[in-house]
A and B are shown apart, each in its own frame.
Chain A
Amino acid sequence: MAAAQAPQAPEGGAAHHQAIGQAGRAAARASMAAPILSVQNLKTWFYAAAGVVRAVDGVSFEVRENDILAIVGESGSGKTVTALSILKLVPTPPGRYVGGHVFVDGEDVLSQDATALEAVRGAKVGMIFQNPRGSLDPSFTIGSQLVETIRRHDPVANRTDALRRAATALLEVGFDNIEHVLESYPHQLSGGMCQRVGLAIALACRPRILIADEPTTALDVGVQAKILLLLKRKNQDLNLPIIVITHDFGVVRAIATRVAVMYAGLIQEEGLVDAILEAPQHPYTAALIQSVPDPDTDVAGFSAIPGEAPDPIAVPDGCRFASRCERVHARCRIELPPLHEVADGRQVRCHLYDPTKGNGSCPET
């Protein structure tokens, strides 16, 4: 597992383990530093006509320099709402921050007013939104949006400076016809291009931490590789911590150092990437990884996790995965399992890992 391999030769014979080695070392080094982002028992609910949607229902995690944290989970599990909450961008109403805290660089974001938030958004926390075109202003060219954003966050930059930085940012995200892109309006670019422009804008503000919600979904594998490399390089060169929200285990595998698995508004498992991908412990994580399609099978042969996620308006009392879990037992339906620490930095929200009952071998009564 990564933690064990981490100190091994970053150069030489084990060169092909470089990525893993770096990830491991990063994690080791990072554990000393203070977190740049700390989310503590965050609860963001929506008050809809039909009832209360507990979209995020007690989520905690920390992100330090050098971390690339992947948040994975099925659609509707609360990943995007978690990200939006960090920037206090959830529409209220119908949303409401029901509990918990978000600290960015020690500042309590959820208690800040509109002006203070301006400084947090973009400058401190860069965000790439899931819907690439929707996050761009349709009535301005890409160039003027980039220049405007750069100057808003860095008032000393003059127009020429800003334009140069804008061009560099576009170059970095893989465009070669820079002038063309600068003069284009969002509707003149393809979906994949808009997604890259979003990333260029986020990076041009030089944030302290970057949150990317599905940053490569609209991209072909070549551009994906380019973007993932760029994110990895920014992370290493600038000590820029990154949260990537994704449903693609290829992305997780390629760049993440840690993974948090969300289901029904809660983190179910968290730990180092190799540990989780190779040996998932939570039954949900295991099922999720199992459902990654083998490229040679047909749609008919897909093993989607049977059953449906619980109705977010009527979440069950016990474990939220109980209705679909193969190892469900009596206790699961009554008692919500806490996050059990099963190894260094590895946490699992499942009764099977209750230390008072012995790891993974809880009597399934």
Chain B
Amino acid sequence: MSGNLIEVRGLKKSFQVTRGAILRRVVGVTTAVDNVDLDIKEGEILGCVGGSGSGKSTLGRLILRLIEADEGRINFAGRELTGLSFKQMCPLRREMQIVFQDPLHSLNPRRTVAENVERPLLNFGVPRAEARGRMAELLTMVGLDPTQSHKYPHEYSGGQCQRIAIARALALRPRFLFLDEPVSSLDVSIQAQILKLLLDLQQRLKLTFLFVSHDLKIVRQIAHRTVVMYRGRLLELGDSDAVYRSPMHPFTKNFLGTVLHVRKGGRWELAAQRAEDLEDLNRQSATHAAPQAGCVYAGACAERFLPCASERPPLFRATDDRWVACHLYRPPQAAQ
């Protein structure tokens, strides 16, 4: 647990949507990732939570250089990735892999499970016989029976497909895995199994994870630290348990802390059983036009005060291991 595996500085990515084939008029610009600084420590699971469209997937894809950043730098294991050519990236791709929410997205439905898992190995020149042996090892490692690997992905359940996708992602012995909502489409009992598997693999193989989810409850169960995203920006960063139990940023408190319902001590708690509760949640999540200046959450924030509209708060150090991008946590000496 020493040092950072990944260091991201000033990362920025905007997308344009245009209309018209000849006179391309820009109908919208989305800043999906906005000036993000982030360290991912070697051997940690860093959770990333945020609402739909907050930029979580884009952040991960930028780090893996599946898309190009507009600005900023990414350092992976001491190597600057920015500016590397496709060819120079190739050896590094082995070390960074991705797992998607929909396991079928990472698997080829027309290939057997064995072929799917062997594919990345063959692509990197591993001899066929060796790839076969490694495939069997990998499937065993994720809890599947290699003698069934002649089957096709659709013959497996969702949870099993996700195991296959994980086996495939681990084939090249990566150091870093970007997990984009890997359990969101699975049901609770299977979610738990996959989370346990991921934890176990992470510890055994000394992997580093960036684990994305829209659900703070899930992230908290697996991640050491959690970062909260909103409109492409990081709003809060800290120990996962602490962020879950005592959120500090108004966004984390009001929004991510809310759940539709919970079951505690064997009883259903009526967190949002009633229509009014839904209305309430609905109001809290209402989107407001992105402010030009000031805090990105100001439009929806109940605790907004004077500086919020004009000054964009950076991540302030609120406690020893908590960083919060909100003027409420501006340290006294930095005030005025």
**Residues of B contacting A53 in the complex (Cβ-Cβ under 8 angstroms):** 155
> Would B192 and A293 count as touching, CB distance under 8 A?
yes
> Would A191 and B181 count as touching, CB distance under 8 A?
yes
Whose C-beta in chain B lies nearest to the C-beta of A22? B275
- The CA-CA distance from A289 to B268 in the complex, in Å, is 10
What per-residue 1/0 map shows which CB atoms of B229-267 lie under 8 Å from chain A? 000000000000000000000000001101111111110
> Would A74 and B189 count as touching, CB distance under 8 A?
yes
- The CA-CA distance from A257 to B284 in the complex, in Å, is 26
9-residue interface stretch from B12-20, B114-122, B321-329: B12-20
**Residues of A contacting B50 in the complex (Cβ-Cβ under 8 angstroms):** 220
Residue B221 CB within 8 A of the other chain:
yes
Shortest CB-to-CB span from A7 to chain B, Å, is 19
9-residue interface stretch from A31-39, A57-65, A156-164, A175-183: A175-183
From known contacts A76-B157, A192-B53, A219-B52, infer whether A295 and B259 are also in contact, taking CB-CB under 8 Å: yes
Q: Which of B190, B278, B284, B289 contacts A228 (CB 8 A)?
A: B278
Q: Which of A130, A133, A176, A229 contacts B287 (CB 8 A)?
A: A176
Taking CB atoms and an 8 Å cut-off, the chain A residues in 57-79 that contact chain B are 73-76
Residue B9 CB within 8 A of the other chain:
no
From known contacts A191-B101, A229-B275, infer whether A250 and B259 are also in contact, taking CB-CB under 8 Å: yes
Q: Which of B28, B157, B217 contacts A295 (CB 8 A)?
A: B217
> Would A296 and B264 count as touching, CB distance under 8 A?
yes
> Would B190 and A225 count as touching, CB distance under 8 A?
no
Shortest CB-to-CB span from B33 to chain A, Å, is 12
From known contacts A75-B157, A278-B268, infer whether A229 and B262 are also in contact, taking CB-CB under 8 Å: no
Shortest CB-to-CB span from B262 to chain A, Å, is 5
> Would B278 and A222 count as touching, CB distance under 8 A?
no
Whose C-beta in chain B lies nearest to the C-beta of A226? B282
Shortest CB-to-CB span from B307 to chain A, Å, is 26
Q: Which of A183, A221, A290 contacts B258 (CB 8 A)?
A: A221
9-residue interface stretch from B34-42, B72-80, B88-96, B193-201: B193-201
**Residues of B contacting A140 in the complex (Cβ-Cβ under 8 angstroms):** none
> Would B274 and A250 count as touching, CB distance under 8 A?
no
Shortest CB-to-CB span from A348 to chain B, Å, is 20
What per-residue 1/0 map shows which CB atoms of B144-180 lie under 8 Å from chain A? 0000000100010111000000000000000000000
Whose C-beta in chain A lies nearest to the C-beta of B190? A75
From known contacts A18-B275, A305-B189, infer whether A191 and B255 are also in contact, taking CB-CB under 8 Å: no
- The CA-CA distance from A191 to B27 in the complex, in Å, is 21
From known contacts A75-B157, A226-B285, infer whether A221 and B260 are also in contact, taking CB-CB under 8 Å: yes
- The CA-CA distance from A233 to B168 in the complex, in Å, is 43
From known contacts A75-B157, A220-B52, A293-B188, infer whether A179 and B282 are also in contact, taking CB-CB under 8 Å: no
Taking CB atoms and an 8 Å cut-off, the chain A residues in 222-242 that contact chain B are 222-226, 228-229, 232
- The CA-CA distance from A250 to B151 in the complex, in Å, is 35
**Residues of B contacting A295 in the complex (Cβ-Cβ under 8 angstroms):** 217, 259, 262, 264
What per-residue 1/0 map shows which CB atoms of A289-308 lie under 8 Å from chain B? 11111111011101011000
- The CA-CA distance from A251 to B277 in the complex, in Å, is 13
From known contacts A16-B274, A179-B27, A229-B278, infer whether A193 and B52 are also in contact, taking CB-CB under 8 Å: yes
From known contacts A223-B52, A247-B186, A299-B199, infer whether A188 and B17 are also in contact, taking CB-CB under 8 Å: yes
Residue A19 CB within 8 A of the other chain:
yes
Shortest CB-to-CB span from B334 to chain A, Å, is 32
- The CA-CA distance from A35 to B282 in the complex, in Å, is 32
- The CA-CA distance from A133 to B104 in the complex, in Å, is 12
Residue A184 CB within 8 A of the other chain:
yes
Taking CB atoms and an 8 Å cut-off, the chain B residues in 204-236 that contact chain A are 214-215, 217, 221-222
Shortest CB-to-CB span from B55 to chain A, Å, is 8
From known contacts A188-B15, A278-B268, A294-B264, infer whether A74 and B101 are also in contact, taking CB-CB under 8 Å: no
**Residues of B contacting A269 in the complex (Cβ-Cβ under 8 angstroms):** none
Residue A98 CB within 8 A of the other chain:
no
From known contacts A218-B214, A220-B214, A293-B188, infer whether A250 and B261 are also in contact, taking CB-CB under 8 Å: yes
Residue A48 CB within 8 A of the other chain:
yes
Whose C-beta in chain B lies nearest to the C-beta of A229? B278
From known contacts A75-B158, A250-B272, infer whether A218 and B258 are also in contact, taking CB-CB under 8 Å: no
Shortest CB-to-CB span from B302 to chain A, Å, is 15
What per-residue 1/0 map shows which CB atoms of A256-276 lie under 8 Å from chain B? 000000000000000000000
Residue A89 CB within 8 A of the other chain:
no
**Residues of A contacting B186 in the complex (Cβ-Cβ under 8 angstroms):** 75, 247
From known contacts A75-B159, A293-B192, infer whether A251 and B260 are also in contact, taking CB-CB under 8 Å: yes
Whose C-beta in chain A lies nearest to the C-beta of B258? A221
Residue B313 CB within 8 A of the other chain:
no
- The CA-CA distance from A226 to B52 in the complex, in Å, is 12
Residue B137 CB within 8 A of the other chain:
no
Taking CB atoms and an 8 Å cut-off, the chain A residues in 274-330 that contact chain B are 277-278, 288-296, 298-300, 302, 304-305, 309
> Would B255 and A183 count as touching, CB distance under 8 A?
no
Whose C-beta in chain A lies nearest to the C-beta of B25? A183
Shortest CB-to-CB span from B70 to chain A, Å, is 16
**Residues of A contacting B52 in the complex (Cβ-Cβ under 8 angstroms):** 190-193, 218-220, 223
Residue B187 CB within 8 A of the other chain:
yes
**Residues of A contacting B280 in the complex (Cβ-Cβ under 8 angstroms):** 225
Residues of B within 8 A of A (CB): 15, 17-19, 27-28, 30, 50-53, 57, 101-102, 104, 151, 155, 157-159, 181, 184-190, 192-193, 195-196, 199, 214-215, 217, 221-222, 255-256, 258-266, 268, 271-282, 284-285, 287, 289
- In addition to A19-B274, A192-B214, A222-B258, 8 A-B residue pairs with Cβ atoms within 8 Å of each other are A50-B155, A184-B28, A190-B57, A220-B52, A226-B285, A232-B278, A299-B192, A299-B199
| 13 A-B interface contacts by CB (under 8 A) | A16-B274, A50-B151, A53-B155, A217-B185, A221-B255, A225-B260, A228-B278, A247-B187, A291-B189, A291-B192, A295-B262, A302-B196, A304-B192
Q: Which 10 A-B pairs have the closest CB atoms?
A: A222-B285, A192-B52, A247-B187, A180-B28, A250-B260, A225-B281, A76-B157, A302-B192, A220-B214, A304-B189
